[in-house]
Amino acid sequence: MSAPDSELEVLFRVAARVHLAVRQALGNPQRFEVVAMGASGTPTERIDRLAEDEVRTVLEEEKVDWNLLSEEVGRVERGGELTLVLDPIDGSHNALRGLPFATVSLAVGRDTMSSVSTGVVHDLATGVTYWAEKGKGAFRDGRPLRTRPWEPKRELFFLNLGRHATPRVLGWASKARRVRSLGCASLEMLAVAQGSADAYLFENDVEERNLRVTDIAASYRILLEAGGGIADLNGKPIETLGLSLDRRTSVFAWADERLHAAAKEGAHP
């Protein structure tokens, strides 16, 4: 009898199926149609439901008993010890508007963020796949990922901007040499993981507008394996966040611990 497929192999196949389904759907005007309110309290467009349905179909076809946690359907108990933490389309507003910044984000864990053992993020525009397994490093299409050393006054930060961004985030914008904002948390955290950026910060003015574990679980594991770190903007670790939709969090993801230390000491906002 052959050995069971690894978590990583299953996630690769899930990502491939979602990629195909989403690419086919993007030409359909009905992709904008709101079909339900998601478990997270935000509208579920048809394209989100389509991607989520593909994931559930693969799990059923392959008889994988993982539980499912998705921002659209919520938590689905399927009898397993592990949970698949899913954002079927991270950056769905970008995808709907034809902007090339959207991913399917997949992570497998047990109960908290620290238990996430495998993360896969697949770029739906470029076809690039990022992945990591706990203790085994991080990769981009098979090439190892490493974060970059911090060079003061030469920073590039990814930030959430707009009317709900906090003064603290805007303060970071004023300190950076360059700032970018994609509207896709997974890709922005991965920019830090692959050495393209020094930090990613997300904090909105009310807790209900901050990020869920579905937004960050996969890229969290990839970033840590690439040598980076992550906490909320008050310095609280996020490792103890439960794998549920009950809580949201601000995010400060960094490439170099020296930048994190400078922030704690007040050298940065």
Residues 136 and 175 in one domain: no
> Residue 29: its pLDDT value, please?
47
Strand 199-202 relative to strand 178-180, pairing: unpaired
> Residue 45: its pLDDT value, please?
62
What dihedral do alpha carbons 257, 263, 268, 269 form, nearest 10°? 140
Domain stop point among 110, 144, 178: 144
Q: Is residue 2 part of a domain?
A: no
Residues 30 and 131 in one domain: yes
pTM for the complete prediction?
0.91
> Residue 269: its pLDDT value, please?
56
Residues 101 and 208 in one domain: no
- Which single residue is written with the structure tokens 């692959």? 194
Q: Is residue 237 part of a domain?
A: yes
Residues 126 and 170 in one domain: no
CATH number of 211's domain: 3.40.190.80
CATH number of 36's domain: 3.30.540.10
Q: Is residue 191 part of a domain?
A: yes
Strand 156-159 relative to strand 199-202, pairing: parallel
> What is the span of the domain harbouring residue 59?
7-144
Dig out the tokens for 106 from the structure: 């997949």
Q: Is residue 149 part of a domain?
A: no
Number of domains in the chain: 2
pLDDT in tens, the chain (269 residues): 344 569 999 999 999 999 998 887 766 544 444 434 445 555 446 788 888 999 999 999 999 999 999 987 899 999 999 999 999 999 988 988 888 999 999 999 999 999 999 999 999 999 999 999 999 999 999 999 999 999 998 999 999 999 999 999 999 998 889 999 999 999 999 999 999 999 999 999 999 999 999 999 999 999 999 999 999 999 999 999 999 999 999 999 999 999 999 988 765 65
Residues 30 and 124 in one domain: yes
Distance of alpha carbon 263 from alpha carbon 257, whole angstroms:
10
Residues 163 and 239 in one domain: yes
Domain stop point among 144, 177, 202: 144
Residues 111 and 182 in one domain: no
> Residue 250: its pLDDT value, please?
97
Q: List own/partner pairs for 3-10 with CB under 8 A and 24 or more apart.
A: 5/62, 7/82, 7/108, 7/117, 7/118, 7/133, 8/118, 8/120, 8/131, 8/133, 10/58, 10/62, 10/64
